[in-house]
Amino acid sequence: MLPKKHTFAFRLNLYVVSSISLIAFIIFTSYYFISRNMFLDAAEQNAKNITEKYVNQIDAVIGKVAKIPFNFAMIVENNILDEKKLVLMLQNIVANNEEVYGSAVAFEPFSFNKDKYFSSHYVYRSDEKIITSDLNDPKYEYFYQDWYQIPAKLGKPVWSEPYYDEGGGNTLMTTYSVPFFRTQNGATELWGIITIDIELDWLDKIVSSIQIYDTGFAFVISYAGTFVTHPNRNFIMNQTIFSLSEEFNIPSLRDIGRKMIAKKSGFEKLNGVTIKDDSRIYYTPFNSNQWALGVIFLDKELYADLNNLSLLIVVIGFFGLIFIVTTITTVSKKLTKPLNLFANAATEIGSGKFNSKLPEINSKDEIGELFNSFKQMQFELNNYIKNLKETTAEKEKMQSELRIAHKIQMDMVPKIFPPFPEREDVDLFAILESAKEVGGDLYDFFFIDDEKIVVLVGDVAGKGVPASLFMAVTRTLIRSKIIKGITSSQIIDQINRDLMQNNDSQLFVTLLLCIIDLKTKTMEYTSAGHNPAYIVSEKGEITVLKDRHGMALGLFDLQPYKSSIYQMEKGDKFVLYTDGVNEAMDKDGNIYDYFRLENMLVKMQKLSAKESTELIIQDIKKFADGAEQSDDITLMVVTLK
Amino acid sequence: MKKSLIYLCVVFVSLSINNINAQSNLKKIRFAVHWMPQAQFSGYYIGVDKGIYKKYGFDVEIIHSTSSVTSQDLLLDGKVDFASMFLTTAMVLRSYNAPIINVAQLSQRCGQVLVAKNNKIKEIANLNNKKIGIWKSGFDEILMSFINKNKLNVKIVLINSTINLFLFDGIEAMNTMWFNEYHSIINAGINEDELKTFFFADYGLDIPEDGIYMLQNNFDKETVDKFIKATFEAWNYTFENKEEAIKLVEIEMKAQNIAFNKSQQVWMLNRLHDLFYVKDKKYLKGQLLESDFENTYNILTDLNRINNSFNYVDFYFGIK
């Protein structure tokens, strides 16, 4: 189903899906965390409302019963009461207040009756009856009981820590003790304590009924942190919030407990080693005593709705993405199907079938434009190929003709060596290597008579067919001018004039023409703008024939060319060349140069003309090191024997 | 073959002895411990529950004392054979000619500590003119000695057994057992760093506490030795198997409707171990050192608690 890698559909999916996923992720994450905070705020408010409601309810009960001993204390302080009246009042308190389990009045030693160390009365409820008793048991020593001692020492009312009633029943109780005072000898002193005992069943019922989310619960702790109510009955009276923190290794619980007994309210996260799920606690103190109420609920329940909604969004998002992928894949395939057909057509066209049928497209969209472009391309390609065929044919024809021209050109220069095997007074060798198929260099040699030999080397400006034709004309003209007794300068003059005529193309040729008398070894030569030739003696001495007698031929007829005479010796080598030798280049554009040429000349004194020529040619090739030859190279060596 | 025979004989003899024990009525021992059920006595619960006493030929019954009926009452009335007691309590009794002797000293260190809230009490001198709570049931000797030694002028407030008067700030300081009330205060939400503690052991008042006592007339060395040996074996097992011991403590406490708090009892057992096994003190297991006896005797004499003089040899019959 998924598109293959590198296809248009795949990439489109990749870009679109990843972009949408990124945006969706950002939106979802923002939504989730903002919602979480909103849920948390709502949960805090909810917990606060619930706890305040119940705290008010509990405070109302406690506050109501707390007034009873207060009123009683005022009566005792302000009236002279005998024991009967005291007992009657206690009986009324217990009988008329169903929340009150028992009530006691206890006096300081010898203060109610100067003969009695213990003086107390206690009235309590038992099986619907009101029992009247006292707490005067010497073993009990009520002065040292918390309910008496703490308010007595503090001089103010105190709610006792919770305790189980002594009757052995499993009723949890608390006692509210109010001290009362009398004035003796002008000084106010503690006279005794009035108490009411309250069963805490009602408190447990109220607190147990508090439910937050599914498993959230409430609990009450006393001033010492002891659990007064808790869903886990084992905790009640056995554990304090602090011992629980220690036993179950929940350090945060200790801090929370301390805030609770310090009468603070708060909303906090609870976590610890033994708590599997994160949870929250909201706590608030009672106003009427020093106890505090806490509600705990699990984060997962707090966020349950949010998590369900988020899951739904994720699921919808997932299927949405699948839908997008499917749509993109389908549409892409539909859109790219013609492209595939075009690709096939292009492949066919590429293989040479220029008239391949293009896919049928009638749409006017980009694909339609592509079809038109393809159609145009096919047409242009056909034309191009047709032209190309013609051009290629022409080019091939031309190349063939050039090859023939080259052959003709090469045929024009003598190539049979040694040219004069019957003569022992001269050895001659020459090479012409064209840079292109048809070059503009030339050389020639021939005898005028038995003793005089003409040797010449020339270089037509430019290369190719025009140059070679100019060269052929020059060569032919030279040969046509040769008559007995003619000098090199005469020949040059005549040729110059001939070449100038009808030279619309402004071609020209440099030429070094020498006439050597082999008998006298006298050489007459004329240089028409050509490179200086060398004479290498048998001893290796090099002489440069620097004389130039005028400009290259074919352009101007300024003044007659002159000639120079040089007396050669037996064994001298006469070296003629074109600028293709000294201007041969290597790959880096360095020039072969005269210096290197002259170094080679020294080495050739004992070599034949052929060997000498080849020595230099090989050195040039070595120097060029495979670089393309840029100019014709012509070299001729004539050795006088 | 020969070894197998010997093994069989040993097995047979052992079985026979067990049978004899079972049938021939284990020696009945009644043992009073000096407070209500808590981890302080877990070693004895283990001794009974794990059959350690039985192994030594005793059928031990543990009797808990209360604030009204103390272990010394039970011992002097002849209602029990052995009783655990504080050394000071026993020595005061002895000075009044009570015929009791120490047969083993378990605790080797003073576990009492004076605790105050450090917002008011930062040093000993701050205790002057302050109210100090102390148990009505006794154990006041060390504190009184501390007060005298430091020439303090304090108001003593007798309290029953809870820490509530201290929590409600009805008193500024309170004498506590390190292994018990001290931790109860911590478990009531007061942090250790909010308390100033005076460990009496650090003030030259390091006198040992829990020991095992009996009436001199009933002294039978063989029985006593076996009983003490069994008792130490039981305590060793207890300290090595604390979870098991704490479970027995829970059963005992719940049976008497006493609030059981595991962290409190675990703390107590751990501190008890510290008091039984003091690292930098040389003594034999169960030994009451003569120096400890003399130190305690002098402290009690200073407090005028010694009525008739007596000596170490007449008082201590345990391992030497």
Mean pLDDT to the nearest integer, A168-188: 86
Whether B178 is covered by a domain: the verdict is: yes
The whole-angstrom separation of Cα A254 and Cα B191 is 9
Q: Which residues of A lie closer than 8 Å to B, measured between beta carbons?
A: 139, 141, 144-146, 149-150, 153-154, 158, 160-161, 164, 168, 223-226, 237-244, 246-247, 254, 257-258, 261
Pick from B131, B160, B260: CB nearest A145: B160
Whether B73 is covered by a domain: the verdict is: yes
- Are residues B181 and B84 part of one domain? no
C-alpha count within 13 angstroms, C-beta hemisphere, residue A309: 11
**Cα distance from B139 to chain A (closest Cα, Å)?**
17
The per-residue pLDDT for range A12-43, each reduced to its tens digit, is 888 988 999 999 999 999 999 999 899 889 88
- Are residues A487 and A610 part of one domain? yes
Whether A235 is covered by a domain: the verdict is: no
Whether A598 is covered by a domain: the verdict is: yes
- What is the secondary structure of A568-590 as a DSSP string? --TT-EEEEE-HHHHT-B-TT--
Residue A181 identity: F
Closest residue of A to B69, CA-based?
A139
The whole-angstrom separation of Cα A304 and Cα A313 is 14
Q: Which of A353, A379, A412 marks a domain boundary? A: A412
Instruction: Look at residue A396 and tell me whether its pLDDT is greater than 50.
Output: yes
- Are residues B241 and B185 part of one domain? no
Mean pLDDT to the nearest integer, A74-80: 89
Q: DSSP letter at A559?
A: S
**Cα distance from B183 to chain A (closest Cα, Å)?**
9
Domain ranges, residue A389: 361-412
If one counts the domains in chain B, the total is: 2
Whether B195 is covered by a domain: the verdict is: yes
Q: Which of B203, B222, B246 marks a domain boundary? A: B203
Nearest to A568 by CA among A607, A611, A520, A612: A520
- Are residues A501 and A365 part of one domain? no
Helix/strand/coil for A522: strand
φ, ψ dihedrals at B163, nearest 5°: -100, 5
Instruction: Name residue B133's beta-bridge partners.
Output: B157, B174
What pLDDT score was predicted for residue A272? 61
Domain ranges, residue B170: 112-203
- Are residues A483 and A583 part of one domain? yes
What pLDDT score was predicted for residue B139? 80
Whether B320 is covered by a domain: the verdict is: no
Instruction: Look at residue B19 and tell me whether its pLDDT is greater than 80.
Output: no
Tokens representing residue A449 in the block: 């008579």
Q: Which of B203, B220, B241 marks a domain boundary? A: B203
- Return the CATH number at A553: 3.60.40.10
- Are residues A432 and A544 part of one domain? yes
The per-residue pLDDT for range B217-260, each reduced to its tens digit, is 999 999 999 999 999 999 999 999 999 999 999 999 989 888 88
Instruction: Look at residue B7 and tell me whether its pLDDT is greater than 60.
Output: no
Give the residue with greater pLDDT, A371 vs B179: B179
Q: Which of B185, B203, B221 marks a domain boundary? A: B203
Nearest to A354 by CA among A367, A345, A362, A363: A345
Where does A361-492 show beta strands of DSSP type E? Answer: 426-433, 441-447, 452-460
What pLDDT score was predicted for residue B280? 87
Q: Which of A199, A223, A256 marks a domain boundary? A: A199
Walk across the sheet containing A227-229 and list its strands.
Answer: A227-229, A217-221, A292-298, A279-285, A266-270
What pLDDT score was predicted for residue A166? 65
Give the residue with greater pLDDT, A128 vs A187: A187
For residue B258, give every residue at least 6 positions away whose Cβ sits within 8 Å of its Cβ, in sequence order, or none. Answer: B36, B37, B38
Contacts of B263 in chain A (CB under 8 A): 243-244, 246-247
What pLDDT score was predicted for residue A367? 80
Whether A57 is covered by a domain: the verdict is: no
Contacts of B188 in chain A (CB under 8 A): 224-226, 240, 242
- Are residues B132 and B84 part of one domain? no
Q: Which of A199, A225, A251 marks a domain boundary? A: A199
- pLDDT band (50, 70, 90) for residue B27: very high
Instruction: Name residue A212's beta-bridge partners.
Output: A216
B169 in contact with A, Cβ within 8 Å = yes
Question: What residues of chain B, 176 to 215, have a C-beta less than 8 Å from chain A?
Answer: 186-189, 191
- What is the secondary structure of A275-301 as a DSSP string? --S-EEEEEEE-SSSS-EEEEEEEHHH
Mean pLDDT to the nearest integer, A329-347: 83
What pLDDT score was predicted for residue B4? 46
Nearest to A614 by CA among A390, A413, A431, A342: A431
What pLDDT score was predicted for residue A438? 66
- Are residues B214 and B103 part of one domain? yes
Residue owning tokens 């009756």: A113
The whole-angstrom separation of Cα B269 and Cα B274 is 9
Whether A34 is covered by a domain: the verdict is: no
The per-residue pLDDT for range A262-272, each reduced to its tens digit, is 999 999 988 76
Whether A193 is covered by a domain: the verdict is: yes
Express as a percent the part of chain B with pLDDT over 70: 92
Instruction: Look at residue B16 and tell me whether its pLDDT is greater than 60.
Output: no
Residue B17 identity: I
User: How many residues make up chain A in this entry?
Assistant: 641
A192 within 8 A of A112, measured Cβ to Cβ? yes
When scoring B261, B265, B270 by the number of chain A Cβ atoms within 10 A, the one with the most, hence best to mutate, is: B261
* Range name among A216-230, A334-348, B105-119 with the lowest pLDDT average: A334-348
What pLDDT score was predicted for residue A260? 96
What pLDDT score was predicted for residue A301? 85
If one counts the domains in chain A, the total is: 3
- pLDDT band (50, 70, 90) for residue A69: very high
- Are residues B47 and B99 part of one domain? yes
- Are residues B56 and B151 part of one domain? no
Instruction: Look at residue A343 and tell me whether its pLDDT is greater than 80.
Output: yes
For chain A, what is the radius of gyration of the CA atoms? 65
- Are residues B169 and B247 part of one domain? no
- pLDDT band (50, 70, 90) for residue B5: very low
Instruction: Look at residue A506 and tell me whether its pLDDT is greater than 90.
Output: no
Hey, how many other C-beta atoms are within 10 angstroms of the C-beta on A45? 12
- Return the CATH number at A156: 3.30.450.20
CA B44 to centroid of chain Cα atoms: 11
* Range name among A94-108, A280-294, A351-365 with the lowest pLDDT average: A351-365
- Are residues B154 and B32 part of one domain? no
- Are residues A486 and A371 part of one domain? no
A430 within 8 A of A635, measured Cβ to Cβ? yes
Pick from B164, B186, B264: CB nearest A146: B164
Instruction: Look at residue A392 and tell me whether its pLDDT is greater than 60.
Output: yes
What pLDDT score was predicted for residue B20? 46
Q: DSSP letter at A232?
A: S
What pLDDT score was predicted for residue A5? 65
For strands A187-199 and A217-221, give the pairing.
Answer: unpaired
Mean pLDDT to the nearest integer, A138-165: 90
What pLDDT score was predicted for residue B300? 94
- Are residues A465 and A383 part of one domain? no
**Cα distance from A150 to chain B (closest Cα, Å)?**
6
CA angle A558, A562, A566 (to 5 degrees): 155
- Are residues B284 and B153 part of one domain? no
When scoring B134, B171, B182, B187 by the number of chain A Cβ atoms within 10 A, the one with the most, hence best to mutate, is: B187
Pick from A139, A150, A244: CB nearest B168: A150
* Range ranked top by mean pLDDT from A299-308, A535-544, B207-216: B207-216
Instruction: Look at residue A621 and tell me whether its pLDDT is greater than 80.
Output: yes
- pLDDT band (50, 70, 90) for residue B15: very low
- Are residues A592 and A449 part of one domain? yes
- Are residues A448 and A373 part of one domain? no
- pLDDT band (50, 70, 90) for residue A338: confident
Mean pLDDT to the nearest integer, B189-193: 95
What pLDDT score was predicted for residue A167? 55
Instruction: Look at residue A379 and tell me whether its pLDDT is greater than 50.
Output: yes
How much is the mean pLDDT over chain A? Answer: 88
- Are residues B212 and B303 part of one domain? yes
CB contact under 8 A, A247 and B263: yes
How much is the mean pLDDT over chain B? Answer: 90
Whether A468 is covered by a domain: the verdict is: yes
What pLDDT score was predicted for residue B273? 96
What pLDDT score was predicted for residue A276? 65
Closest residue of B to A234, CA-based?
B260
- Are residues B230 and B103 part of one domain? yes
- Are residues A367 and A456 part of one domain? no
* Cα distances (angstroms) measured from residue A94 to each of A101, A278, A489, B106, B255: 7, 46, 163, 51, 32
The four Cα atoms B68, B73, B74, B78 give a dihedral, to 10 degrees, of -150
- Are residues A459 and A406 part of one domain? no
Instruction: Look at residue A403 and tell me whether its pLDDT is greater than 60.
Output: yes
* Range name among A53-62, A262-271, B7-16 with the lowest pLDDT average: B7-16
Give the residue with greater pLDDT, A361 vs A311: A311
B167 in contact with A, Cβ within 8 Å = yes
A207 within 8 A of A54, measured Cβ to Cβ? yes
Instruction: Look at residue A169 and tell me whether its pLDDT is greater than 80.
Output: no
Instruction: Look at residue A558 and tell me whether its pLDDT is greater than 80.
Output: no
Nearest to A47 by CA among A260, A285, A267, A269: A267
- Return the CATH number at B170: 3.40.190.10
- Are residues B161 and B235 part of one domain? no
- pLDDT band (50, 70, 90) for residue B3: very low
Mean pLDDT to the nearest integer, A79-103: 91
- Are residues A399 and A367 part of one domain? yes
**Cα distance from B38 to chain A (closest Cα, Å)?**
13
Walk across the sheet containing A509-517 and list its strands.
Answer: A441-447, A452-460, A509-517, A522-528, A564-567
Contacts of A239 in chain B (CB under 8 A): 261
Whether A435 is covered by a domain: the verdict is: yes
In this prediction the ipTM stands at 0.84
- Are residues A480 and A365 part of one domain? no
